[in-house]
Structure 1
Amino acid sequence: MDGLPLLPTTVVGSYPVPEWMERLKTEYFRGRMSHAQLQDVHEMAIKAALRDQELAGIDIVSDGELRRDNDLDYFLARLPGIEIPHTAKDFYFDYYDTRVRAPLPPPTGDAPLGLADDFAFTAAQTDRPIKFSFTGPFSLARRVHNEAYADRRDLVFAIARHLNAEAHALAARGARLLQIDEPFLAGYPHEAETAVEAVNIVTEGVDVTWGLHVCYGNRYARPSWEGHYDFLFPAVLDARVDQLVLEFARKGYDDLTVVAKHGWDRAVGVGVVDVKTNHVETPDLVASRIRGALELVPAERLVINPDCGLRNVTGAVARAKLAAMVSGAAQVRGELTGAPDPDPEPDPDAPRGGATR
């Protein structure tokens, strides 16, 4: 993407859901709030999340995934052919029980998930480049009770074709950076080749910058699996994506040697703040982590981000972590370019005046 500084900063996708919003979303799923009211809540929260990111100095912002109750349901509930017997929830973050009884119908050229409309709303609220993320077909298929396909791979690929239609619609509305999230892949490392095949169906013919995010799970701020990123290779070398977005701050940076050893020659989104703790990293610690990454990845191929989404930390912690990340990246950028740090961004916790667009 043009116009970005060296070592651009971004987020992985999700942003904290305030307690008041959790209560309101749960009220909706208990039938006590209208859909129109819920949409108003979503839009207000998205505007606030964008403002937080702008004040922190983030170069590439996101909508915080704040319309989504979790990483799966928003997509599965809109996919033609997916059945959800019970749509009520005791808590908004719970997963639906979903099933497929017959092969999914092929895409018809429309985009029933409505992701392009979500992007357009976000684009109207900010002048900064936007990363728009969505859960990938492998992870979506893992939560579907399959009664239609003899081989689950066929379900994964059918979902991928629908996501490809959504990606075309997103690009047509102006999206330039799309990210596929595969949070379940680390739990099924022997299926990396299937996941990569599906990723290539999603990206087929969509001329944007593509990211692929793979972490070890972030449900309630806890990892679902442990391991090393060597399971991605060599399969991921065939993925038609422009960057890998990976978790390092929590796990350590030994896995960067795996990425380098296997000859990954595209961008790496390197996690430099741990989203599974409320401890706030200092800018100096962030800078040291970036310097370590630069020993294996050249600066022009390095993107700076948290390990994963920020949903499970508080708003104050998220703002502080993002501010530290931006400051640490600025330190290293200044060392590389010889230019002094720009004027600091406003304190993200300072009182705010005026209205967010």
Structure 2
Amino acid sequence: MHIHNLGFPRIGAKRELKFSLEQYWRGDITQSAFLTQCQQLREHNWQLQHQAGIEWLPVGDFAHYDHVLNTTLILGLAPERFTAHNSNALDLEFRVGRGQAPSGCQCAASDMTKWFNTNYHYIVPELSEQLLASSEKVNAESLILQCKEASKISDKTKVVLLGPISYLHLSVSKNADKLSLLPALLKRYQTLVTQLSNAGVSWVQLDEPILGLELEQQWQDAFSKAYQQLNKGKLKLLLTSYFSSIDHHIDLIKTLDFDGLHIDTVAQETDVSAIIDTLPQHWVISLGVINGRNIWKTDLVSVYQKLLPLYRHLKNRLWIAPSCSLLHSPVDLQQESKLDAEFKSWLAFAKQKCEELALLKYALVHENSDEITLYSSSALARCVSKRIHNDSVKSRVNGLSKEDFHRKQSFLERKVVQQKTLNLPVLPTTTIGSFPQTGDIREVRAKWRRNEITQAQYQSLIEEEIRNTITKQEDIGLDVLVHGEAERNDMVEYFGELLEGVAFTQFAWVQSYGSRCVKPPIIFGDVSRKQAMTLSWINYAQSLTDRPVKAMLTGPITILCWSFVRDDLSREEVANQIGLAISDEVVDLVENGTQIIQIDEPAIREGMPIKQSEWQGYLNWATAAFCLSAAKAPAKTQIHSHMCYSEFNDILPAIIALDADVLTVETSRSNMALLDAFDQQAYPNDLGPGVYDIHTPNVPEVDWMVALIEKAQKYIPIERLWVNPDCGLKTRGWTETKLALDNMVTAVKKLRAAYSN
């Protein structure tokens, strides 16, 4: 039996990669210094895993920005607009990922979207016949170098690669038949595999996570075609899938030329015993038995009891691993010094999950469960702890009726009332909520947390920032303002800290994209609101201006999806608990005169199950939880929502069912292509398609935004169009923010003048 890992968090226990990236982008460190820091971080990650008991170390899971982008660069498939400029490989990488690098040469970054049903974002490959036929060469040098680095720590290393079918499936292409590009793509993969084989690499983990999908026959045929043609040479290939069961594709999988199969046994129930006897007898069977996407300590005794008969049957053919890459887990629980002993005993982060595998292997090999019985006792104690149960919350959820999930008036009725109340111009302008989080703001919050300033001093400093933000928005000329969220560290963590049944950590960071990291709350018990969470800040902001100020709330599904969630209760029930807490906040805001309330749901698409046949069940309760949070708002209160990176074709009926008065969406990177969904079904409410991409520091031109707004008018009448950036401005600087918003308002003025004529 062997222990291996599918991937490790690349950001570092204290976000070392984030800070190195940002220093390099600012020009504070040289490229050589940055690359040295990355090498040191990779080696540290391997050391952590090796010391925890991992035998086969993953190589190639580390990325400066994104592992899918790594694949694109290794295959020599960066689009021409990025390679047209003379620059080094590192700056090419950052131009593709963020549209800008220290060497300059700004250009439109590649699209970015969610990695399956996670909160991680990958850079979408852009493929074409011309690009695949180009002379750009495949180069495995970086992977081979990293194998040499890792071999100093362990003699067992395993290269991690995104497989060709998943890579193609996740890409975008102007070719009507994307699969027509497969032969040319396979040639590049063949070159890559040959280079690795010639370099003496022994195992390659080929990730094909789309096997969890209910694939159309043409994509199933593509698997057969690809893996009949691919000559693996001296390599051994481990076919790896995760995030969903693959039982429905076993008849296909067993015909493919591999040397092993990894099965995620955590994400979805799977009949491992029935599967393994149908597979080739020489295959390694890797079982993902530790949850790679959550932070709860594993009940190793339960896993041991399931695995023991399989181990007796398979012996050395059995490998054990986390369910998926530990990219989605924080690094090390040992850093957490402020969690109480009982709560901390319930948790396991990436390092601890590796240690769990070592404990499990020892128990299986020696058929001795004494040590894991002691280890698992705290995991079992959590299930019966009084800390996780609140009878009044349960009673409130059980008492909900159909009326609690709907607003009383239709959108058309509400729009008439709201327009009379708000008197907004055509193409009203606003932002998504957050404004730049400067170092000064973060330092104020840090001092307050360290008790270095009083509550009164903290409030005064935050109010000063709110006042400045309101003034700047008025000077720019925005119609609907926001308070800027200076008091908030993160849109989910902020609310998590103010809700009962939710805990937060010091260092449980996970990567969202590039240098952007989030620290998800831990929903461990029944959720309720302690007190008003946003009221005082919104009231203060509104007192400074005659223009409407949007109150900013995070929706129940986003809080659910962007938290580590308890596993002893259905996600639907947890969502309804959160929905009631947000509803209580809405009621307080309305009673205090707030006219516009935004309830953000950027995560609603990513929460969907992998298999399409299971989507509707999820969407039913997910949209219901959002509606529950907004249902008590009267007709005069305008409810906004915001969504990120959603494939609207998949979920348009559910988006409509949210019944938000105004929906703002991210569409700028796709050049409004996401709105094509509205050709199939018209969107009935107001819409604010983002007119510029905030994930890049580039300042958009006026004419560019005018063109996007005019394109949006093909889908939504101008009377129902809003104009806004495509996401919050938290990660941007004030200089670029003001320039971009000035241009946005100028673009709107041009269009209003044309419209009035």
Does the TM-score normalized on the shorter chain lie above 0.5? yes
1:335 maps onto 2:335 in alignment = no
Q: Are the aligned partners of 1:30 and 1:89 in contact in 2 as well (CA < 8 Å)?
A: no
- Tell me the equivalent position of 2:477: 57
- The alignment partner of 1:305 has SS state of coil
- Tell me the equivalent position of 1:95: 519
Distance 1:320 1:95, change over 3 A: same
**CA offset at residue 47 of structure 1?**
0.8
1:193 maps onto 2:193 in alignment = no
- The alignment partner of 2:481 has SS state of coil
Corresponding residue to 2:676 among 235, 254, 257: 257
Distance 1:230 1:35, change over 3 A: farther
How many angstroms apart in 1 are the aligned matches of 2:456 and 2:568? 37
- Provide the alpha-carbon RMSD of the alignment: 2.2
- Tell me the equivalent position of 2:662: 243
Q: Structure 1: which amino acid aligns with 2:656?
A: L
Q: Are the aligned partners of 2:492 and 2:521 in contact in 1 as well (CA < 8 Å)?
A: no
How many angstroms apart in 1 are the aligned matches of 2:659 and 2:451? 42
- Based on CA coordinates, which of the two structures has the bigger radius of gyration? 2
Q: Are the aligned partners of 1:138 and 1:185 in contact in 2 as well (CA < 8 Å)?
A: yes
**CA offset at residue 149 of structure 1?**
4.5
**CA offset at residue 148 of structure 1?**
7.0
- Tell me the equivalent position of 1:166: 585
**CA offset at residue 9 of structure 1?**
0.5
1:23 maps onto 2:438 in alignment = no
How many angstroms apart in 2 are the aligned matches of 1:88 and 1:285? 40
Aligned length: 320
Q: Are the aligned partners of 2:697 and 2:736 in contact in 1 as well (CA < 8 Å)?
A: yes
- Tell me the equivalent position of 1:104: 527
Q: Which moved more, 1:230-239 or 1:32-41?
A: 32-41
Corresponding residue to 2:707 among 271, 282, 288: 288
Q: Deviations over 1:312-353 (max 9, x none)?
A: 110011111111000001101111111xxxxxxxxxxxxxxx
Structure 2: stretches of 5+ with no match in the other structure: 1-418, 510-516, 610-617
Q: Deviations over 1:276-327 (max 9, x none)?
A: 1111112222111111111111110000000011111100111111110000
How many angstroms apart in 2 are the aligned matches of 1:292 and 1:96? 37
- Tell me the equivalent position of 2:467: 47
- Tell me the equivalent position of 1:270: 689
How many angstroms apart in 2 are the aligned matches of 1:87 and 1:113? 24
- Tell me the equivalent position of 1:352: none
Q: Which has the higher contact order (CA 8 A, sep 6+)?
A: 1
- Tell me the equivalent position of 1:204: 631
- Tell me the equivalent position of 1:343: none
Q: Are the aligned partners of 1:149 and 1:155 in contact in 2 as well (CA < 8 Å)?
A: no
Percent identity over the alignment? 25
- Tell me the equivalent position of 2:536: 117
Q: Deviations over 1:223-262 (max 9, x none)?
A: xxxx622233221222232121101112221111213422
- The alignment partner of 2:598 has SS state of strand
Q: Deviations over 1:210-233 (max 9, x none)?
A: 1120013xxxxxxxxxx6222332
Q: Deviations over 1:56-111 (max 9, x none)?
A: 11000000111111111221111123234x56899xx852642323x335x7xxx7
Structure 1: stretches of 5+ with no match in the other structure: 217-226, 339-357
Q: Structure 1: which amino acid aligns with 2:623?
A: V
How many angstroms apart in 2 are the aligned matches of 1:166 and 1:286? 35
1:10 maps onto 2:430 in alignment = yes
Q: Are the aligned partners of 2:667 and 2:690 in contact in 1 as well (CA < 8 Å)?
A: yes
**CA offset at residue 19 of structure 1?**
1.9
Q: Are the aligned partners of 1:203 and 1:240 in contact in 2 as well (CA < 8 Å)?
A: no
Corresponding residue to 2:739 among 317, 320, 344: 320
Q: Structure 2: which amino acid aligns with 1:193?
A: N
